[in-house]
A = this chain, B = another copy of it.
């Protein structure tokens, strides 16, 4: 039963194959970005983990492997990736900039219980008027509770229904 649900709900899907540093290096070069080591590692984290991390999460993780890395380096490189438009910035939550290396059109769901950000597929979206407007960015951001956090909070949820 649970297994079935899990199969239906595609959470945090990791890519089928992880990118090697060589592939990332090639990719960055193609985009006119010099593939320095720290830069490669920041992009590697984004593209292979796909957890929509904050700058600080990336910093904390990379610091374990590269103790000399500086927080500013992470910020600098994320800013560069945004300028070169190979990653997008998520403002799901105020004061919590997150980064996503997947650029195809999809939405995001942030669980207010566990803090995770999930990708959401968008089948269709129809807006009532936008003629003559030039749309350069689209963001669909949802917030709420994921199934497991919802389960954990069931009591409160039922309380809410009554009171």
Q: Which residues of A contact B (CB under 8 A)?
A: 5, 8-10, 89, 91-94, 97, 107, 109, 112, 120-147, 150, 157
Contacts and interface: CB of A to CB of B under 8 A. Distances in A.
Given A91-B91, A139-B141, A128 B134 contact: no
What copy number does this chain have within its complex? Answer: 2
Given A121-B129, A127-B122, A144 B150 contact: no
Given A93-B91, A123-B126, A125-B125, A142 B137 contact: yes
A159 to B, nearest CB: 14
Contacts of A140: 125, 138-141
Nearest to A111: B133
Contacts of A109: 130, 133, 135
